[in-house]
């Protein structure tokens, strides 16, 4: 179902804006759905990517994730998530192994990616590489050394600059600001696909992305 976004913030009306978090399986699946939709179009579709802190509600004042925070997600919830991920994995042709991916904090990866998005022309490749490093290679992309290693395989990205950005107070503040802006816009979960004042949330099928964009 499409829904209206709050109107006190503006997004690029000519681009599909995607809010996501690297550790979210539905974000990985949503990318596959988006890729399938884009393949059906005669005209290219501009896409902009924004970070969203999936587990931000569990962070303490030091920025650490507290596992003892009760968010209402019990064993039944996670079993349902597994079933939905399995179903969508088959539908979109994506391999996901929940038991293989490490349990990590994606903040450093989001911070490094924000730097790459703002300061280089290589964001799309770096963003893809981070998702693949986590969901395909099962690497800890919260580790600065891993981020630097991923950056080393992406043309146009300086390894040491990524290492510095991932631990920079300046880029941490900029990432916090981006998360806050997303919440002000009305983003409450990921993935969220936004276009021309409306949004679809979840790893929605390509047909729903088509309705979002082409019915606008």
Residues of the chain under the 50 pLDDT cut: 1-2, 6-9
Q: For residue 7, what pLDDT is reported?
A: 40
Q: For residue 11, what pLDDT is reported?
A: 66
User: Domains (ranges, CATH) in the chain?
Assistant: 3-214 (3.40.30.10)
Q: For residue 60, what pLDDT is reported?
A: 60
Nearest to 115 by CA among 151, 64, 139: 151
Give CA separation, 136 vs 54, 87, 114, 152, 199, in Å: 20, 18, 22, 18, 28
141 within 8 A of 109, measured Cβ to Cβ: yes
Residues whose CB falls within 8 Å of the CB of residue 134, separated by 6 or more in sequence, listed in order: 22, 23, 101, 102, 104, 109, 141
* Four-residue CA torsion sign, 203, 206, 210, 213: positive
Q: How far apart are CA 98 and CA 88, in angstroms?
A: 14
pTM of the model: 0.88
As given in the structure block, the two tokens for residue 198 are 């409306």
Q: For residue 197, what pLDDT is reported?
A: 86
Q: For residue 36, what pLDDT is reported?
A: 97
Q: For residue 69, what pLDDT is reported?
A: 54
């Amino acid at each position: 179902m499409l829904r209206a976004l709050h109107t006190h913030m503006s997004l690029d009306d000519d681009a599909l804006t995607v809010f996501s978090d690297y550790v979210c399986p539905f974000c990985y699946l949503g990318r596959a759905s988006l890729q399938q939709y884009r393949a059906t179009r005669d005209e290219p579709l501009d896409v902009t990517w924004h970070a969203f802190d999936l587990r931000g509600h569990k962070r303490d004042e030091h920025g650490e994730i507290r596992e003892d925070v009760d968010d209402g997600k019990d064993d039944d919830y996670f079993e349902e998530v597994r079933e939905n991920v399995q179903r969508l994995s088959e539908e979109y042709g994506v391999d996901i192994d929940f038991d293989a991916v490490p349990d990590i904090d994606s903040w450093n990866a989001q911070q490094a990616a924000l730097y790459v998005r703002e300061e280089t022309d290589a964001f799309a490749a770096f963003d893809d590489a981070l998702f693949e490093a986590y969901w395909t290679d099962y690497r800890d992309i919260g580790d600065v050394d891993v981020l630097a290693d991923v950056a080393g395989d992406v043309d146009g990205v300086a390894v040491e600059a990524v290492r510095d950005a991932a631990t920079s107070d300046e880029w941490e503040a900029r990432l916090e600001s981006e998360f806050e802006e997303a919440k002000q816009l009305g983003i409450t979960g990921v993935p969220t696909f936004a276009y021309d004042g409306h949004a679809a949330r979840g790893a929605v099928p390509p047909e729903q992305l088509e309705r979002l964009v082409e019915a606008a």
